[in-house]
Amino acid sequence: MSSGLSSLDLGIVALYAVGLFTLALWVSREKSGHDKNTEDYFLASKSLPWWAIGASLIAANISAEQIIGMSGSGYAIGLAISSYEWMAALTLILVGKFMLPVFLKRGIYTMPQYLEQRYNHQVRIVMAVFWLGVYVFVNLTSVLWLGALAINSITGLSMEYGLIGLGVFALAYSLFGGLKAVAMTDIIQVVLLVFGGLMITYLALDLLGEGNALGGFGVLMDRAPEKFDMILSSDNPHYASLPGISVLVGGLWVMNFSYWGFNQYIIQRALAAKDIDEARKGIAFAAYLKLLMPLIIVVPGIAAFLLYPDLPKSDLAYPQLMQLVPHGLRGLVFAALIAAIVSSLASMANSVSTIATMDLYRSIKPDTSQHDLVKYGRIVSCVAMAIAMLAARPLLGSLDQAFQYIQEFTGFFTPGICVIFILGMFWKKTTAGGALTAVLGSFILSVVFWLAWPSLPFMDRVGLVFVLCALGAVVVSLMQGNRAQDSASDIKMTAADFKTKPVFDVAAIGIVVILVGLYAAWW
């Protein structure tokens, strides 16, 4: 690695940090005498506009896991890893059309709260505990570790100091204001993220093209054509990670619906919208940003494959590329990377505190005041971040492609999660017993297939386990009485609830047309 960051770069990063903290305090201010309640803190007073929702969805999603991890996968696998981004755009449209109305009509704070309304209290508690474990030991730890790895690669700062610095910074600007502070500052974060990512892409392609960035893309396709296969053949060494046509019709759909439709720290932004139309516009905005992401985080990884073919780890591709940026601008690009990391950390910490407070603590102490609930939520955020800092190295320190590991680990649970939500929404006869069967079966079946059929690509395993869990949930539900759950009829959903405005319909058609063009171009 070369010289890292200059004094000018560090000054720009410091200016960004101070500006972000100041903005967070400003948007978090309250009228004199008003004490934040749970709706203010966890749902931003249900006042988020569409542009804040869309920007915040992307800022929460694109973090070190994506920037460092997916660039590393681009280095190792190629453009095919972009399916996670491009298929997510279509998933967002479907979530906005069919799932978001169900959540907003029920006025929920959390995903476990919906499960209690739909099933029973036991399902809510089981899933609340599960999600807390995943968010702390998988999501928070992965973002902290990959973020600290990037900082270490670029500046030489020790991993321990990087972990502590990222965690403390994320808490410092988000702890007081809650979701509103996170979502509104995410607008700045996304602008920096897009700017920094496009700059890295331009400089890498410019170097390959010897002064012509567009020509550099042609060099990529000529010298590494195997990196531009969107649908991998069975003889590809990375077929197990992205198993051919299954990417379009198989388990990736389960992964995407679980993440974008039923994931607390993602969907919480849409729950904070002032109405359904505003939430849908925000989701459509996020979908178009997702189409842009491969240009920012995957193409640079492919370029690094040609520029730096001997990297010891593929996850070092993006940090190495940052050395191409001249001093001054390098500080801005580094600030963009930090922005992506801390926005995701803040989002995850806020969602951990929301679930722990609204699903667990309030269940134990239902008479707790609004003030004390918010106070407890802040304490939980701090504790969760501290645990994640301590667990990051033991869990992720020896991995090469952290992004792929995270996807495979979460794939043990996502089939059951999708089953209990999808059946719960669209089949009234699903019972709590059927839901718990799907949740337990998801883990057991995944482990069995993982041990007994190791050659089965994990994405195919996810799809297969989803089908088996759905069948199991249906059978158990029918055995329990073949009757609709009483709670399922508490709120009647009609065709009108799923009707969308023309602006959303046009946006949806645009997403489909663009996706067809992209896959046709690199089939």
pLDDT band at 265 (very low <50, low <70, confident <90, very high): confident
The yes-or-no verdict on residue 486 having pLDDT over 70 is no
* DSSP states along 95-119: IIIIIHHHHHHHT-SSHHHHHHHHT
Contact in structure between 195 and 336 (CB atoms under 8 Å): yes
Least confident of 171-185, 207-221, 496-510: 171-185
In the predicted model, is pLDDT for residue 27 greater than 90? no
Show Cβ contacts of residue 21 under 8 Å, excluding neighbours closer than 6 positions. Answer: 172, 173
pLDDT of residue 315: 78
CB proximity list for 426: less than 8 A, separation 6 or greater: none
Does residue 243 register a pLDDT over 90? Answer: yes
* pLDDT above 60 for 368: yes
Higher pLDDT, 475 or 522: 475
| pTM score of the predicted model | 0.90
Alpha carbons 256 and 263: distance in angstroms, whole number:
10
Give the whole-angstrom CA distance, residue 232 versus residue 318. 24
| DSSP codes of every residue in 10-61 | HHHHHHHHHHHHHHHHHHH---TTPPP-HHHHHHGGG-B-HHHHHHHHHHHH
pLDDT for 168 equals: 94
Residues in contact with 132: Cβ distance below 8 Å, sequence separation at least 6, in sequence order = 352, 355, 356, 360, 384
Closest C-alpha to 352, from 236, 103, 178, 93: 178
> Which is more confident, 333 or 285?
285
Give the model confidence (pLDDT) of 200-242 as tens digits.
Answer: 999 999 999 999 998 999 999 999 999 999 999 999 999 988 9
The mean pLDDT value for 97-124 works out to 92
Residue with the two structure tokens 């073949």 = 482
Q: What are phi and psi of 232, to 5 degrees?
A: -75, 140
CA dihedral 151, 153, 157, 161 (to 10 degrees): 50
pLDDT at 1: 37
Place of tokens 């992964």: 255
pLDDT tens string 44-77: 888 899 999 999 999 888 876 678 778 988 999 9
User: What's the half-sphere exposure (Cβ side, CA atoms, 13 Å) at 520?
Assistant: 6
Tell which wins on pLDDT, 68 or 375. 375
As a whole-number percent, the residues of the chain with pLDDT over 90 amount to 59
pLDDT at 522 over 90: no
Average pLDDT over residues 421-435: 93
pLDDT band at 33; cut points 50, 70, 90: low
**Are 330 and 5 spatial neighbours (Cβ–Cβ below 8 Å)?**
yes
- The amino acid at residue 153 is S
| Average model confidence (pLDDT) across the chain | 89
Model confidence at 495, pLDDT cuts 50, 70, 90, reads low
Q: Which residues of 101-137 are buried (b: 16+ CB within 10 A; e: fewer)?
A: bbbbeeebbbbbbbbbbbbbeebbbbbbebbbebbbb
At 388, is the pLDDT very low, low, confident or very high (cuts 50, 70, 90)?
Answer: very high
pLDDT at 402: 59
Confidence of residue 390 (pLDDT cuts 50, 70, 90): very high
Phi-psi region of 107 (alpha: psi -120 to 50; beta: other; left: phi over 0): left
How many helices and strands (H and E) does the chain possess? 26, 0
Q: Which whole-number Å values give the CA distances from 61 to 83, 125, 413, in the listed order?
A: 15, 25, 19
Closest CA to 83 of 407, 358, 321, 410: 407
Buried b (16+ CB within 10 A) or exposed e, 366-381: eeeeeeebbebbbebb
Q: What does the radius of gyration of the chain's CA atoms come to, in whole angstroms?
A: 22
- Continuous H helices in 263-328: 264-271, 276-297, 299-307, 317-321
Considering the domain 7-22+36-227+258-398, what is its CATH architecture? Up-down Bundle (1.20)
Q: Which residues of 253-277 are buried (b: 16+ CB within 10 A; e: fewer)?
A: bbbbbbbbbbbbbbbbbbbbbeebe
Confidence of residue 489 (pLDDT cuts 50, 70, 90): very low
pLDDT of residue 355: 96
DSSP 3-state assignment of 501?
coil
pLDDT of residue 403 exceeding 60, the answer is no
Q: Name the nearest CA neighbour of 333 among 141, 67, 65.
A: 67
> What's the pLDDT tens digit per position in 296-335?
999 999 999 999 999 988 878 888 898 888 888 888 888 8
Query: Where does the pLDDT of residue 3 fall: very low under 50, low under 70, confident under 90, or very high at 90 and above?
Result: very low
